[in-house]
A and B are shown apart, each in its own frame.
Chain A
Amino acid sequence: MATVELTFSALPAHVRTARLVATAIARRTGVEESLLDEVRLAVGEACSRAVEAHRAHCPGEPIRIELRDDSGRFEVTVSDQAPSDEIMQERTMDLGVLSDSFLSGFGIAVIAGLADDVEVFPSPKGMRIRMSWPATPNGHPSL
């Protein structure tokens, strides 16, 4: 198992960098080209959510991403340190219910719709989002 770790300050500008790094490593790990857009978007969503949460609760603390090549899967874990108990709920789509707080849950909804496998661990000490995609053996075996 090879791992790349990245920590960055809670600044919106760094989210793009995180997306680019994750996409590059996914490609190198052997994630299919057709899935790379999904990796880019899902990682971007997780990092955007973390940045917004840190800016609200702990702007001085860094956000951490771990990217792993683990037994034929490319796994990404985004961890923040902002208290969270977000739970996605099914709601009917109507413009009236699209409040800012409802929209803040879009990120996780998008991740859930994109990643092959997602786990969200909210806690008072921060949220951890783990997501993974299949990596083909034709990819580069080492990170």
Chain B
Amino acid sequence: MDLKLDHRTEDGLTIVEVEGEIDVYTAPRLRELLIDLVNKGNFHLLVNMEKVDFLDSTGLGVLVGGLKRVRAHDGSLELVCTQERILKIFRITGLTKVFGIYASVDEAKEAHGKDK
């Protein structure tokens, strides 16, 4: 499956919906979207990965790159992910300590609201 990307803003949080495979071929598209969102002033991003079938280290690099960009504006980049096979990659690389990872968009929105 290819990569499908969509985004919307709710309660000050820009939710990026990702569907499909994030790998060395498709990751540049996600990178471009994250850069574009940050350039347009969206500094609080929530990437919903519930429909991601595959994620490799290239994808991790894009997410880390996005996090560095939003942090430069005192922003945040957090994730929604409950899929064990995807979470395993974050655990192997130690990135569970770097990203906030939530079980649902609602849970992330609630946490984001408390932080404001």
A-side interface residues toward B, CB under 8 Å?
12-13, 15-16, 19, 37, 40-41, 44-45, 48, 51-52, 93, 95, 98, 100, 103-104, 106-107, 109-110, 113-114
Contact = CB atoms under 8 A, between A and B. Distances in A.
Give the bracket for the number of chain B residues in contact with chain A.
20 to 34
A45 B94 contact: no
A48 B56 CA distance: 9
A23 B88 CA distance: 18
Most buried by A among B25, B57, B94: B57
B95 to A, nearest CB: 7
A56 to B, nearest CB: 13
A110 B68 contact: no
A107 B56 contact: yes
Q: Say whether chain A's binding surface is mostly helix, strand, loop, or mixed.
A: helix
Contacts of A12: 23-25
Contacts of A52: 24
Interface in B2-25: 21, 23-25
Nearest to B84: A37
A37 B24 contact: no
Interface of B: 21, 23-25, 54, 56-58, 60-61, 64, 67-68, 71, 85, 88-89, 92-95, 97-98
B98 A95 contact: yes
A44 B25 contact: no
11 contacts: A15-B23, A16-B23, A41-B56, A44-B23, A45-B57, A48-B57, A98-B64, A98-B68, A107-B56, A110-B92, A113-B92
Contact of B21 (A16, A98, A103, A109): A16
Contacts of B68: 95, 98
Given A16-B23, A37-B85, A48 B94 contact: no
Contacts of A106: 57, 60-61, 93
B21 A41 contact: no
